[in-house]
Structures are given as structure tokens and as C-alpha cells.
Structure 1
Amino acid sequence: MLSAQFLITALVVVLAPGTGVVYTLMLSLGQGRRAALPAALGCTFGIVPHLAAAILGLAALLHSSALLFQIVKFAGVAYLLYLAWQAVRQGGALSIGEARGRDSFARIAIRGALINILNPKLSLFFLALLPPFLSGNPASATAEMMLLGGVFMALTFVIFLGYGLFAAAARDRLLASARVMTWMNRGFAAVFAGLGLKLAMEKA
């Protein structure tokens, strides 16, 4: 059940930089504090399908079907490469710049959700993470997994929001240098492309 060990494990996992963290940082740097909330919220809700799949046992099906896994995986790869292009393209949806327009709350949240939804490894992650912290009572296993998953999602939202607000606070200083903005866009694009390549090499 819920324990200090689970909280520490979940905290370490959530703090580790990944696609959701990179996305939240980029949006907050590019569009300010107002983008931090929907970015964090979208990335958090992108966890729901994988958590549900793990609880219902569907994750086992996903990882036993090579074709299904490959379809979801390469959809995720294509999306990450698209985000890389949007980061480096002049006026792209993720580019950082002083003249950068602001996206709607829904658009930011949906893009963040898709980052996690299109990562097939997340369902396997929950299958590996949650069982060691269950009480062992089959009758309460589903409720316990829902509780642990909910706590993991809450930590994700709070920490990602913190990352976003921190990035937004640094926004004005960074936007003062066109050279810094150019290299940041290139750097974030490289990170998304690298994460896409890493996902492409994953096996079921």
C-alpha cells in the first residue's frame, strides 16, 4: 500500500527529466506562466490510459503483440520528431521567442497528453512499479493500484508544474539574448529527436 518507499520511488521517477518535463519547460519558457498549468495537466492525464491498461491487464496484451506495440511505438516516434521540428522551425508551435504567440489551454494540454499516450513503455512501467507495493490481498488489488496510480499522477502534476513555473521565472532573462534563444530551440529539438530515436529502439 501507500508507503514512504513508494513515495520516494515515485518522486525519483517523476523528477527524472523525460519528454514531459522537456515539453513543460519549453512551453513555459516560450509562453510564460500561463502555459505551465495546461502543460503539466496534459502530461499528467496522458498517464491515465497506461495506468488503466495496467490495472485492467491490457498492458500484457500490448506487450505480447509485437505488431500493436510497433504501431503505438512508431506513432510516438513520429510525434516526437514532429515536436523536434516545431521547436527548431521559425514560428513553430514549440519555438522559444519573444514574438511567439500563445496557444490555447486546450491545445497545450492535448499536446502534452499525446506525449505520454503515445509512449507504449508507460503501461509496462506501471506493471513493474505498482505490484511490489501492493498488500497481497487480491480482493483489494484494483483499489490499491488505483490509489498508488493516483498518488503518482498527483506527484507528476505538482512537480511538472514546479518545473514550468521555474522556467517561466527565468523566461525574461533568456529572451533578452537572441543567440541563447536560437541555441535553446536547437537544444530542445535535439532532445526530442534523441528521445524519438531512443523510443524507436525500444523492444516490447
Structure 2
Amino acid sequence: MFSAEFLLTSLVVVLIPGTGVIFTVSIGLMHGRLASLYASLGCTLGIVPHLLATILGLAAIMHTSAIAFQVLKYAGVAYLLYLAVATWRDRSAFSVQEVRQKGDTASLMIKAFLLNILNPKLTIFFLAFLPQFVATDAQSSLEPLLGLSAIFMVMTFVVFVIYGQLAHAFRAVVINSPKVQSWLRRSFAAAFAGLGLQLALTER
């Protein structure tokens, strides 16, 4: 079930920088190692609703319904643009201490969760990608589908954690340079806006 083709393809998909990676890297730079870990967990948990949608057949409905797809797509676009504006307007210095308070960690996880749950392409990905690796002679597709999804989620979490830790390793350089902070903040804002525009222009 866990073929080399599935593992390799999943790894490539996870490694490609997207909204989750950019968010996790920005959190690792601004708030530290622990915060990036919570961001990685939130992004990973954001996969669960898409998995449930696929299992329940909702993904097929969204794939055939232009209205359902557009509603979810533009909700994602709006959220990405909100993150872009919030990041651009934030003029506070990057925090030296890691996020530890429950309220802060919950807020980070919710933001990361929303990033993935509002991504309609992820649901389509589950609908088109995972079933290809389920054996046609399987008595039930539920168990192998859950197994493949679990592997994909573990890979997502591990890769995102690595991205966050690498970002944390460069914090000293960032914190000691206000110019670098300003450049990074604008770059992250532009990246969120660009991803939002890209999502707005994509079709099913």
C-alpha cells in the first residue's frame, strides 16, 4: 500500500513551498522554535477536514459544483489577503522569546488550521491523488485511504517542522537587523498576497 511512488510523490508535494510553508517559516523567524512547532501542527490538522470530505464524498460534490468550489476558493483568497495586510501593517519588532502562553499557541494553531482548511485545491488533491494508490481489489477503500492519509500527514508535519527549525536557526541574523526584519515582513506579505491571487485565478 505504501509504495515508493506514493512516498516520493507525497514528499514532492509537501516540500513545494505553499501557504503552510510560508506561514510556518514566518512564525519560526518571528516567534521561535516552539511557535513554529505549533504552526506545523495546525497546518497538519488542517488536512483532516479535507480527508473527511473525501471519505464522505463531499469532495466529489465540490469538484462538480462550481458554486461550492468558488465559495471555498474565495474564502481562502480573502483569508490569504487578510494575512498579507496584517503582516504588512505589523511594525512590531520580531519577538526574541518564544510563544508559550496558551492563548498565543491556540491562536497560532487556529490560523495555521484555517490556511489549509480554506484551500479547495487540497480537497481536490485528496480526491484525485490518494485513490490512485488504493488497490482495486481491496474489500474496503476506507482503511487504505486512512493509512495513506496518515502517512501524508506525518510527512507534512515532519517537513514543516524542519522548515520551521531552519527558520529559527536564522533568527539571530533577523533580530539583529531591523532592515532584514522589514524586508522579510514585506516579502511574507507579498507572498501571501501572491498566493491569494494565484488561488483566485485557478480553476478546478
Fold shared, TM-score > 0.5 on shorter chain: yes
Partner of 1:163: 163
Give the Cα–Cα distance (whole angstroms) in 1 for the partners of residues 199 and 35 of structure 2.
Answer: 26
What secondary structure does 2:94 align onto?
A: coil
Partner of 2:89: 89
Partner of 1:121: 121
The one-character-per-residue Cα deviations of 1:38-60 (angstroms, maximum 9, x if unpaired) are: 10000000011111111222101
Contact 1:29 1:96 in 2 (8 A): no
Give the Cα–Cα distance (whole angstroms) in 2 for the partners of residues 16 and 28 of structure 1.
Answer: 18
The one-character-per-residue Cα deviations of 1:92-121 (angstroms, maximum 9, x if unpaired) are: xxx762479946111101100000000111
The residue type equivalent to 1:86 in the other structure is: A
Partner of 2:25: 25
Q: Which stretches in structure 2 are left out of the alignment for 5+ residues?
A: none
Contact 1:87 1:185 in 2 (8 A): yes
Contact 1:96 1:185 in 2 (8 A): no
Count of equivalent residues: 201
Give the Cα–Cα distance (whole angstroms) in 2 for the partners of residues 168 and 96 of structure 1.
Answer: 15
| Bigger mean CA deviation after superposition, 5-14 or 96-105 | 96-105
The residue type equivalent to 1:164 in the other structure is: G
Q: CA deviation at 1:68?
A: 1.4
Pair 1:130 & 2:127 matched: no
Q: Identity of counterpart residues, as a percentage?
A: 51
Contact 2:39 2:112 in 1 (8 A): yes
Give the Cα–Cα distance (whole angstroms) in 2 for the partners of residues 72 and 196 of structure 1.
Answer: 12
What secondary structure does 1:113 align onto?
A: helix
CA 106–33 in structure 1, closer or farther in 2 if over 3 Å, else same: same
Give the Cα–Cα distance (whole angstroms) in 2 for the partners of residues 96 and 158 of structure 1.
Answer: 28
The one-character-per-residue Cα deviations of 1:56-79 (angstroms, maximum 9, x if unpaired) are: 221010121111111111110000
Pair 1:105 & 2:105 matched: yes
Give the Cα–Cα distance (whole angstroms) in 2 for the partners of residues 183 and 79 of structure 1.
Answer: 22
Moved over 4 A (4+): 98-103
Contact 1:38 1:109 in 2 (8 A): yes
Give the Cα–Cα distance (whole angstroms) in 2 for the partners of residues 161 and 196 of structure 1.
Answer: 23
Q: TM-score, normalised by structure 1?
A: 0.93
| Bigger mean CA deviation after superposition, 126-135 or 155-164 | 126-135
Give the Cα–Cα distance (whole angstroms) in 2 for the partners of residues 198 and 90 of structure 1.
Answer: 23
Partner of 2:64: 64
